[in-house]
Structure 1
Amino acid sequence: MDVAQLLVDGFGRVREEVHGVLDGLDEGALAHRPPRADGTSGNSVAWLVWHLTRVQDDHVADAFDSQQVWLDGWAERAGLPLPPEDTGYGHGSDDVEAVVLGADVLRGYHDAVHDRTVGLVGSLAPRDLDRVVDRSWDPPVTLGVRLVSVLSDDLQHVGQAAYLRGLMLR
């Protein structure tokens, strides 16, 4: 298996898990926020899926110097009361509460980001992964490190969403 196939497979697994989490959940279930021990509420399935997709969209677009899918019509379609460039990083409770989206929008946006991502990573050669994409870190971040970071973040968040789904449906 070459590096491009490995990355396409990894992002495909994220997509499969996102679809599994969303299947059969209505907007109320997607917006449900579990209580925390401190009396606050946790993240919803909708927020988790939106956030993991926004991060993938933002980071992959930046690494390949391309337009974010979100900024190409999905922000307007979703109609969230958040700035278009918002990815969810640093969100507080009110921000999480504002992310109310149905499964069709979440799935459609994720699929569009997935298609763009695999289109970009599908022809990478091993040498491409050494290209520096972010010099603000020490050491500078390479494309390979950035893509693995995105995969890791996506899998963690979709796992959280799957756990929350399981709690709601038990």
Structure 2
Amino acid sequence: MSGIEVLTDGYGRVREVVHEAVDGLDEAALTYRVDPAANSIAWLVWHLTRVQDDHIAEVAGLEQIWTAKGWYERFGLPIDPAETGYGHDAERVGIVRASAEVLTGYYDAVHEQTLRYLATLTDADLPRVVDRRWDPPVTLGVRLVSVISDDLQHAGQAAFLRGVVERGR
């Protein structure tokens, strides 16, 4: 199995967890917060999708799905289109509201762009440096793995919250 095949599998696992965490929930469940300062399922899935969209578009030299395919308008959030959720405080978390269909629709569009990009790569591409702001500089392989890691953490948090919601909060 090649490194690209492993990465493709990893992104597929993120998609599975995102759908398991979101599918069938109404907006009240998606925006439920166990504490006023806590994240909601909607925010977690929106954020992990925004990060994947941002990071993949950057390394692939593509426009983000968020703006290129009208998802910013579909969400209708009162935020700057460049926001990914990094640094959001409790108030900013609370403004992220969307249906399960919109959340998974956006995620699936980003997932498809990710898979199309991965299909253009070979293992020889993975050592390419994509970010020199870190020491050591970040390679493409490390960036792609870090997105999977971050996404799975947030998707797991969303899955946990789904369990809380389904058990009656």
The TM-score range, normalised by the shorter chain, is over 0.9
SS at structure 1 position matched to 2:93: helix
**Which structure 2 residue ranges, 5 or more long, are not aligned?**
none
Superposed CA deviations along residues 34-60 of structure 1, whole A, max 9, x for unmatched, are: 12xxxx430000000000000000011
Query: What RMSD in Å do the two structures reach over aligned CA positions?
Result: 0.8
SS at structure 2 position matched to 1:130: coil
Partner of 2:29: 29
**Which structure 1 residue ranges, 5 or more long, are not aligned?**
none
Amino acid across the alignment from 2:59: A
Partner of 1:157: 154
After TM superposition, give the deviation of residue 104 of structure 1 in Å: 0.7
Q: TM-score, with normalisation over the residues of structure 1?
A: 0.95
After TM superposition, give the deviation of residue 133 of structure 1 in Å: 0.7
2:133 to 124, 131, 136: 136
SS at structure 1 position matched to 2:79: coil
Q: Does the CA-based 8 Å contact 1:34-1:42 persist in structure 2?
A: yes
Superposed CA deviations along residues 133-155 of structure 1, whole A, max 9, x for unmatched, are: 11111111100000000000000
Partner of 2:43: 47
Matched residues in 2 for 1:26 and 1:105: separation? 11
Q: TM-score, with normalisation over the residues of structure 2?
A: 0.96
Partner of 2:7: 7
Matched residues in 2 for 1:49 and 1:111: separation? 11
After TM superposition, give the deviation of residue 84 of structure 1 in Å: 0.3
Amino acid across the alignment from 2:156: G
> What's the % identity of the aligned pairs?
60
